[in-house]
Amino acid sequence: MEETLRSAALAHVARILGLFYTDELPQLLGLDAPAGGCGQRTRSVLSTLGTITYKRAYTATVDEKGKTVRSFPLDDALGITQGCTTPMVSMMSWAGAVFGSYDDAGKALGKLSGVAVEGRRIQRLINAVSAKENEWIIARDREVVKGGILNLQVDMTGIRMRPEELVGVRGKDGDPKKCQVKVGAIFRQQTNSEGEIERIPNSTTRVVTFDDVLNFSRMVMDEAVTRGYHDADIVVFTSDGAEWIWKMVDDRFKGVVQIVDFYHAVEHLSSLCELVEPDKKKAAKLIRKRRSILKNWGADSTIAFFSKLAKGHCKQDEIEEGLHYFITNRLRMRYREFRKKGYFIGSGVIEGSCKCLVNQRTDLGGQRWLKSGSVNVLRIRAAIQDNLHDEYWKTVGKIRPMAG
C-alpha cells in the first residue's frame, strides 16, 4: 500500500509540476512568447518526481548549412541536461559516483527515490557533465584563511584498463593490466582539547588525473592556492619516498616542509632488519627496537647502524642498496623534530584517498575502464567527498531568466 501511495503521489505532483512549467513559469520568466517564436513543442524530461511532460515555446533559425535549428528558451532557463532536470542530474551523478557500478546506482535510485534509471543513462550523463563540474571546482573562490598549517600529500594507484588504453604502456612485471592515476590531497589541521593534532573535519579537497607529473603538480598547486597556500604559516608536504614526488616538490613547491611518511620508512626498515637477521623472531625484535629509534632519532642512527653491519656481511650489496632510501631521505626523516612542531608524520589521508576515492569505485572485480570514463566518475566522486558536489548543482540549478 505504501509503495502504491508513493507512486501515485509522485505521479500526481509530476503532473502538477508539468502544468506549472507549461502555464505559469514561462510567464514569470517572460518566455511565453519569445521574439521570433514559431509555436510550441511538448517535451518529457526525467525529474526527481519521475517523468514530467510540459509544453514550451521555441524559435527557429537557419544555420550556415541551411539547416533549421530550433531553440527552446525555457529548457535553457531550467538547465535541462541530457533530458533531465538539474536536481535529477545532481542525484544521478551522485549515485553513479557513490555506488560500485552504474547498474547498482540505477537500481538504488529506483528503490530509494521511486524513479528507476538505467545504468547506461547514468554513465552517459556523468561523462557529459563531469568536465563542467570540475571546471567550476577549479575556478571557485579562494578560501580566506590566515595562518595555520596546510598539508599536501600525493600518491599513485592503479586502475584496470581496457586493452586499447594499454597500447605502448610498460608493465612492471610482464604485460600491463593497469594505468597509474595520480591523486593529491590538501587539508588543514588543528590541535584538539587533549593537545593532539588532528585533521580539521571536512577540510580535505582532492585532485585526480592521468596527466603527466608536470600537469599534475600544477593541478595540486592550483588547488593548494585556492586552499590558502600563500597565507599559511607552514606548508607540510608528506609522502612516501618515491623519487618522482620529491623531484616534483623541489621543482614546484619550494620552501615547504618535506616529510617521508613514517610508515613507509618502517617498511624499508623492516626489510633491512630481515636482511641482517635471518631468524624471524630476532628480526621482529630488531624491527621493534629500530622502529622506536627511527621515530625518536631519525635516519642518522639507522644509517650508522646498518652501514656498520653491512661491512663484510654476506648480503652487503643488498643492505647498502636498502640504505640508499634512508640516505636520500635523511632530512625528511627528522621525526622527533617534526612531531615537536606539531606536524603529521604519516600520509594516511592520501593512502585513504587512493583506496576510498579510487579503488572502491574503479578497481573492482571485472571492471575495465577507458581513461576518460574513469576520470569523469572519479572527479565527481572527489567532489562528493569534498562537499562540493551539492554546492555546484545548487549554484547551476538556479533558474536563469533570459536577458531582457
DSSP 36-62: TEEEEEEEEEEETTEEEEEEEEEEEEE
Largest Cα–Cα separation, the chain: 93
**pTM: predicted TM-score of the whole model, two decimal places:** 0.90
pLDDT of residue 172: 66
pLDDT digits (tens, 9 = 90+) for 253-264: 999 999 999 999
User: Nearest Cα to 371, choosing from 162, 215, 65?
Assistant: 162
Q: Kindly tell me the burial class for residue 62, based on how many C-beta atoms sit within 10 Å of its own C-beta (0-12, 13-18, 19 or more).
A: exposed
Dist. CA 369–CA 358, nearest whole Å: 12
Hey, how many other C-beta atoms are within 10 angstroms of the C-beta on 401? 12
Q: Residues in the chain with pLDDT < 50?
A: 403-404
Dist. CA 333–CA 297, nearest whole Å: 9
Q: Which residues pair with 56 in a beta bridge?
A: 41
